[in-house]
């Protein structure tokens, strides 16, 4: 498992679109498996969760990337990206190259 957390600034919907398009355009095997979007009743908070999946050449299997964006009253967007999968060992992870590579793709999108 690999994880990256950061604070983003700007338009929530623009970040969602940038992340969505960047992940799908960054890999021929990437897909958006599902997503959830929430808003507080008073409109002061938002949360979106996106679950992507792609094939890992390094691990020879599929792995996932879950991205969560949360925006509260202050306008800052808390962002968490966590990968899972990417190992074909039975009892412990032998390699995490595929997970790190998927997270690197995400990192390039948000730091560009």
CATH number, domain with residue 92: 3.30.310
What pLDDT score was predicted for residue 40? 96
CA-wise closest residue to 52 among 94, 85, 92:
85
Q: How confident is the model at residue 1 (pLDDT cuts 50, 70, 90)?
A: confident
Query: What confidence tens digit (pLDDT) does each residue in 68-95 have?
Result: 999 999 999 999 999 988 666 665 555 6
The reported pLDDT for the residue numbered 49 is 98
Q: How many domains does the chain have?
A: 1
For CA atoms 71, 17, 87, 58, the dihedral sign is negative
- Per-residue model confidence (pLDDT) at position 19: 98
Of 62 and 17, the structure prediction assigns the larger pLDDT to 17
CA distances from 30 to 39, 79, 91, 102, 107 (A): 27, 20, 27, 10, 16
Domain of 70, in residue numbers: 2-111
pLDDT at 95: 60
Residue 5 scores a pLDDT above 60: yes
């Amino acid at each position: 498992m690999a994880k990256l957390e950061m604070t983003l600034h700007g338009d929530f919907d623009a970040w969602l679109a940038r992340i969505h398009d960047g992940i799908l355009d960054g890999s021929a095997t990437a897909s958006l498996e599902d997503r959830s979007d929430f808003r507080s009743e008073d409109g002061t908070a938002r949360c979106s969760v996106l679950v992507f999946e792609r094939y890992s050449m390094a691990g020879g299997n599929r792995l996932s990337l879950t991205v969560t964006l949360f925006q509260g009253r202050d306008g800052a967007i808390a962002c968490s990206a966590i990968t899972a999968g990417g190992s074909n060992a039975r009892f412990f992870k032998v390699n995490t190259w595929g997970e790190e590579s998927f997270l690197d793709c995400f990192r390039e999108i948000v730091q560009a």
